[in-house]
Amino acid sequence: METLKPIGHIETPFRSKFGIPRQPGIVETPGTVVFEPEYRVAEAVRGLEGFDYIWLLWGFSESAGRGWSPTVRPPRLGGNERMGVFATRSPFRPNPIGLSSVRLREVRQSSPRGPLLIISGADLMDGTPIYDIKPYLPYTDSHPEARSGFATRPAEILLRTECPPELLLRLPAEARESLFEILAHDPRPQYQHDPEREYGMDYGGLNIRFKVCDGVAEITAVTATEK
Amino acid sequence: METLKPIGHIETPFRSKFGIPRQPGIVETPGTVVFEPEYRVAEAVRGLEGFDYIWLLWGFSESAGRGWSPTVRPPRLGGNERMGVFATRSPFRPNPIGLSSVRLREVRQSSPRGPLLIISGADLMDGTPIYDIKPYLPYTDSHPEARSGFATRPAEILLRTECPPELLLRLPAEARESLFEILAHDPRPQYQHDPEREYGMDYGGLNIRFKVCDGVAEITAVTATEK
């Protein structure tokens, strides 16, 4: 038995599960790792700025305590086929710890909240607890030619994204590119493809409504949400 | 807070810390992941056989409970320079969880101890607790061009290995290649380079003594150890 204590948490634009990319690195969304007061020590991240990527070990807070199942239905397989939980990255595992490699953009030392890690590409909900940060070592962590069973690289761009000009004005400039990329990767569950249905996702304090029809994701509403 | 429960443990030829490769994949030593009775479910590993590599999340059992230090002295830097703990893979971290990608050779289903994962390249001591197994996904886990600060790939072969014929006979054929590779990578601490000193390491039930002089690691004794 081992008890883990969060060393920090991550801040991302994702305030709800819907819309979070299914794997890290798919979309270059911004994120910030904020340390807990006990770990706000400039020394503890010394040398980290020399690494392009870091590993985050994090907690599947939503699935914690909900137990595990020997098989799960990966979204990649359309939600119909069952695979062993250890052959997937499903949250419903015996120990609900997630693993993501993310791009390290900057180690910001001069913040009132201690050192901040400015990252991109995290597939994590805002507020996710972080249990460990490790440097990414390509000579031992990188196996570009490894076979990966049913989990092949997802198609690069699936949908064209459209947004009426009056709604575009409500999207902050820095959020547009990431948001369009998220929609292009089709955040809908793979078994729900109803062209009439309107979906909603939270992104950086905005509620984004959209429909998908004939290969086009069209934004239908943009409203502010409360954090 | 999150409490982790071992889902299994690993069996490797390494019965003591000395001699364990400093990173996974350096030497192709054999290993077997054995599940705890509760997780001996054939279904739980269904589909895993399609993956070349798996991630192991494991416990640094020796360092657990010994606290953390904001900086550590990586062996790579000769043990003299301090780096932030989060810029290293040191065991003395706030949450003593290790991360290793290992080659998956076989998923053996028909064992009396439930499914076994036959792997190679683990840098783990015999009996290390395993907390999670995840499939290796190259499209999100592999970044071959990533900069990795001070932690560059170690030199491929450092030492020539010699073994007198009478000692060679005491080494089981299947252990020779791995053992010679381990010695070639120079398992000595980087700050101990005394040519007169005899070192000892346990490997697969054998105690191996050796000296290093002028670029040659010479085996000086081979005796059986008690497990």
Cα(B188)–Cα(B158) distance, integer angstroms:
12
Do B172 and B112 fall into the same domain? no
> Would you call B82 helix, strand, or coil by DSSP?
coil
pLDDT-derived band at B65 (thresholds 50, 70, 90) equals low
Question: B131-179 pLDDT, tens per residue?
Answer: 999 999 999 999 999 998 877 766 666 889 999 999 999 999 888 988 9
Q: Do A149 and B143 touch (CB under 8 A)?
A: no
Q: Do B43 and A147 touch (CB under 8 A)?
A: no
Identify the CA nearest to B51 among candidates B108, B107, B120, B110.
B107
Instruction: Establish if A146 belongs to a structural domain.
Output: no
- Choose the weakest-confidence range: A113-122, A158-167, B125-134: A158-167
Collect all residues of chain B within an 8 Å Cβ-Cβ radius of residue A46. Answer: 71, 82-84, 87
Query: What's the domain count of chain B?
Result: 2
- According to the model, what pLDDT value does residue B192 have? 67
Do B51 and B113 fall into the same domain? yes
User: Pairing between strand B160-162 and B97-108?
Assistant: unpaired
Question: Using CB atoms within 10 A of its CB, is residue B70 exposed (0-12), middle (13-18) or buried (19+)?
Answer: middle
Do A37 and A132 fall into the same domain? yes
Collect all residues of chain B within an 8 Å Cβ-Cβ radius of residue A89. Answer: 134-135, 137
Question: A115-158 pLDDT, tens per residue?
Answer: 999 999 998 999 999 999 999 999 999 999 999 887 776 666 68
| Over residues A67-94, mean pLDDT | 87
Instruction: Establish if B74 belongs to a structural domain.
Output: yes
Instruction: Establish if A45 belongs to a structural domain.
Output: yes
Task: Tokens for B124, please give them.
Answer: 């783990």
Instruction: Establish if B1 belongs to a structural domain.
Output: no
Collect all residues of chain B within an 8 Å Cβ-Cβ radius of residue A7. Answer: 94-95
Question: Using CB atoms within 10 A of its CB, is residue A210 exposed (0-12), middle (13-18) or buried (19+)?
Answer: buried
Instruction: Establish if B35 belongs to a structural domain.
Output: yes
What φ, ψ does residue A12 adopt, rounded to 5°?
-135, 170
Nearest beta carbon to residue B95 from set A4, A142, A152: A4
Place of tokens 């934004």: A219
Instruction: Establish if A81 belongs to a structural domain.
Output: yes
Residue of B62, B140, B143 to mutate, testing the A interface (most A Cβ within 10 Å of its Cβ): B140
- Please answer whether residues A86 and B186 qualify as being in contact, where contact means their C-beta atoms are separated by less than 8 angstroms: no
Of A106, A141, A176, the position where a domain reaches its end is A141
Do B45 and B92 fall into the same domain? yes
Do B26 and B74 fall into the same domain? yes
- According to the model, what pLDDT value does residue B105 have? 97
H helix runs in A164-217, sequence order: 165-168, 173-184
Instruction: Establish if B148 belongs to a structural domain.
Output: no
Of B141, B169, B198, the position where a domain reaches its end is B141
**Cα A155–chain centre separation:** 17
Mean pLDDT value across chain A: 89
Chain A nearest-CA distance from B93, in A, is 8
Do B46 and B121 fall into the same domain? yes
Question: B166-223 pLDDT, tens per residue?
Answer: 999 999 988 898 899 899 888 887 666 788 899 999 998 899 999 999 889 999 999 9
Q: In b/e form, how buried is each residue of A77-106, taking b as 16+ CB within 10 angstroms?
A: eeeeebbbbbbbbbbebbbbbbbbbbbbbe
The helix (run of H) or strand (run of E) holding residue A177 is helix A173-184
Chain A nearest-CA distance from B61, in A, is 9
Collect all residues of chain A within an 8 Å Cβ-Cβ radius of residue B89. Answer: 134-135, 137
- According to the model, what pLDDT value does residue A108 have? 96
| CATH number, domain with residue A47 | 2.40.30.70
Q: Do B149 and A47 touch (CB under 8 A)?
A: yes
Phi-psi region of B215 (alpha: psi -120 to 50; beta: other; left: phi over 0): left
Q: Do A86 and B41 touch (CB under 8 A)?
A: no
Do A58 and A130 fall into the same domain? yes
Instruction: Establish if A38 belongs to a structural domain.
Output: yes
Do B136 and B172 fall into the same domain? no
Of B80, B108, B141, the position where a domain reaches its end is B141
| CATH number, domain with residue A168 | 3.30.2310.20
Do A114 and A170 fall into the same domain? no
Do B25 and B124 fall into the same domain? yes
Do A134 and A203 fall into the same domain? no
pLDDT-derived band at A82 (thresholds 50, 70, 90) equals very high
Cα(B108)–Cα(B164) distance, integer angstroms:
37
The interface residues of chain A toward chain B in range 33-72, judged by CB-CB distance below 8 A, are: 39, 41, 43-55, 57, 59, 64, 70-71
Q: What is the DSSP letter of A139?
A: H
Q: Domain range holding B203? A: 160-224
Do B81 and B164 fall into the same domain? no
pTM, whole model, 2 decimals? 0.88
